[in-house]
């Protein structure tokens, strides 16, 4: 029986663990925390991410908890439209899903071939010629035919195998929250949509329908705000007060949503990325190998909402290649398939970062003039890049 060790119990790690187990692999999933606990926020999945989950046989679980996200357009803080809302075919719409619901669906897909071990901090990687790959925590060595590094932006495995990829600040921080329906404001404006300002961004979406169980068992209104600068050290109550001040005067429903948010709803995230990206995502070792997946391979800012989508693409691609190729050939094929794809998405994300983080009075004036043409073009190109991905044939 083929064996795999997956390091990291996030969305990507859970997805690939279940996929390998359903293909007959015996999987050991190692998680540093004492328990796998998702953030009480939500995630937007674009069509490529949805296709990847369907390729992983997780479509039914996703359909039970996801809400289609209609095109709400893009505005500036003065209300001026950068991209007007437009009708979009259902198959091209993104969906929004509560992270806890998505986590439950991924856990349900693990099956009995996955052994989950929590409280394990991987500290070493064995990459000796001729030997099977292995990782260790200082007490135990976990050896397998395949090691999947899904341990996030601070991946220990990546630092050893691809030391040239550096973790750097993206120059911004993000805040997320889900306001449950019983506290959510009654809004006359559409909840869906995006607003772009000088170093600031605000996105909102509905999770299910008010007054019913909806598509999600954890319904409400999800929002995400990003702002240029470092993460804030203050307590959540102070951070929330800052957000309300920064976004004062923005078009509805921004102020209404921030007013309805409580400090305990708030989840802050320091945004970091890999610069440069690793030169390889697959490393043949002896009769097997190691692959990088998710943020361990291509951590990027959330401006285009592709982080989770790319992780699911990684998992679907790896699972398909392992069905049609043997190790270590599948490891090399994974590297060839994923590096150009990740580089293309990261390139579009960095273009968006440059637009959002423009500073200085003159630069801002020029940016505001250019936003009318630059932003629609960037967003259109990014949407095209995302839509281009299709899962490998079964």
Provide the token pair at 256: 């209404």
Q: Which of 22, 5, 27, 42 has the alpha carbon at shortest distance from 267?
A: 42
Average pLDDT over residues 103-130: 95
Average pLDDT over residues 311-330: 96
Q: What is the pLDDT of residue 88?
A: 82
Q: What is the pLDDT of residue 356?
A: 67
pTM: 0.94
Q: Look at 143 and 212; give whichever has higher pLDDT.
A: 143
Q: What is the pLDDT of residue 373?
A: 55
Q: What is the pLDDT of residue 91?
A: 80
Residue 12, pLDDT > 60, answer yes
CA-CA distance, 174 to 275, in Å (whole number)?
19
CA-CA distance, 54 to 84, in Å (whole number)?
30
Query: In which band, very low, low, confident or very high, does the pLDDT at 72 lie, cut at 50, 70 and 90?
Result: confident
Q: Average per-residue pLDDT in the chain?
A: 90
Query: In which band, very low, low, confident or very high, does the pLDDT at 214 lie, cut at 50, 70 and 90?
Result: very low
Residue 335, pLDDT > 80, answer yes
Task: Return all residues near 191 (Cβ < 8 A) that are at least 6 apart.
Answer: 72, 204, 205, 206, 221, 253
From residue 189, give the alpha-carbon distance in Å to each of 67, 82, 376. 18, 17, 22
Q: What is the pLDDT of residue 120?
A: 98
Average pLDDT over residues 357-366: 54
Q: What is the pLDDT of residue 215?
A: 42
230-273 confidence digits (pLDDT tens):
999 999 999 999 999 999 999 989 999 999 999 999 999 999 99
Provide the token pair at 81: 């439209």
Residue 206, pLDDT > 80, answer yes
Query: Among 156-165, 245-254, 334-343, 356-365, whose mean pLDDT is lowest?
Result: 356-365
345-354 confidence digits (pLDDT tens):
998 888 877 7
Q: What is the pLDDT of residue 81?
A: 85
From residue 224, give the alpha-carbon distance in Å to each of 178, 195, 285. 9, 11, 41
Residue 334, pLDDT > 60, answer yes
Show contacts of 321-324: CB within 8 Å, 24+ apart: 321/392, 322/20, 322/23, 322/25, 322/146, 323/23, 323/394
305-318 confidence digits (pLDDT tens):
899 999 999 999 99
Residue 369, pLDDT > 60, answer no
Q: What is the pLDDT of residue 366?
A: 56
Q: Look at 86 and 9; give whichever has higher pLDDT.
A: 9
Q: Look at 137 and 374; give whichever has higher pLDDT.
A: 137
The separation between CA 289 and the C-alpha centre of its own chain, rounded to angstroms, equals 25
Average pLDDT over residues 3-24: 98
31-54 confidence digits (pLDDT tens):
999 999 999 999 999 999 999 999
Residue 90, pLDDT > 90, answer no
Query: In which band, very low, low, confident or very high, does the pLDDT at 357 lie, cut at 50, 70 and 90?
Result: low
């Amino acid at each position: 029986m083929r064996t795999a060790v997956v390091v990291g119990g996030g969305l990507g790690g859970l997805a690939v663990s279940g996929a390998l187990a359903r293909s007959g692999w015996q999987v050991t999933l190692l998680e540093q925390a004492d328990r796998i606990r998702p953030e009480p926020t939500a995630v937007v999945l674009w069509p490529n991410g949805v296709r990847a989950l369907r390729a992983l046989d997780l479509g039914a679980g996703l359909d039970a908890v996801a809400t289609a996200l209609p095109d709400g357009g893009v505005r500036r803080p003065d209300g001026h439209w950068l991209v007007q809302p437009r009708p979009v075919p259902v198959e091209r719409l993104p969906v929004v899903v509560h992270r806890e619901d998505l986590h439950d669906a991924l856990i349900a897909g693990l099956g009995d071939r996955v052994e989950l071990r929590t409280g394990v901090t991987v500290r070493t990687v064995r990459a000796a010629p001729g030997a099977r790959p292995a990782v260790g925590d200082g007490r135990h060595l976990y050896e397998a035919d395949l090691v999947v590094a899904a341990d996030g932006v601070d991946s220990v495995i990546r630092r050893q195998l691809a030391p040239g990829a550096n973790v750097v600040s993206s120059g911004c921080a993000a805040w997320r929250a889900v306001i449950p329906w019983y506290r959510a404001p009654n809004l006359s404006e559409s909840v869906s949509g995006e607003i772009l300002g000088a170093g600031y961004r605000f996105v909102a979406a509905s999770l299910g329908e008010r007054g019913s169980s909806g598509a999600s068992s954890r319904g409400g209104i999800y929002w995400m705000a990003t702002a240029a600068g470092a993460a804030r050290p203050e307590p959540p109550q102070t951070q929330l007060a800052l957000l309300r001040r920064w976004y004062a005067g923005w078009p509805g429903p921004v102020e209404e949503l921030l007013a309805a948010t409580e400090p305990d709803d708030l989840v802050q995230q320091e945004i970091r990325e890999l610069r440069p990206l690793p030169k390889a995502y697959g490393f043949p070792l002896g009769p097997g190998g190691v692959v990088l997946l998710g943020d361990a391979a291509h951590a990027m800012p959330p401006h285009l909402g592709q982080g989770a989508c790319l992780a699911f693409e990684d998992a679907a691609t790896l699972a398909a290649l392992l069905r049609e190729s043997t190790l270590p050939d599948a490891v090399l094929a994974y590297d060839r398939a994923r590096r150009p794809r990740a580089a293309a998405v990261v390139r579009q994300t960095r273009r968006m970062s440059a637009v959002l983080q423009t500073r200085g009075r003159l630069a801002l004036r020029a940016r505001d003039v250019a936003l009318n043409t630059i932003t629609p073009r960037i967003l259109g190109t990014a949407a095209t890049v995302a839509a281009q991905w299709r899962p490998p044939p079964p």
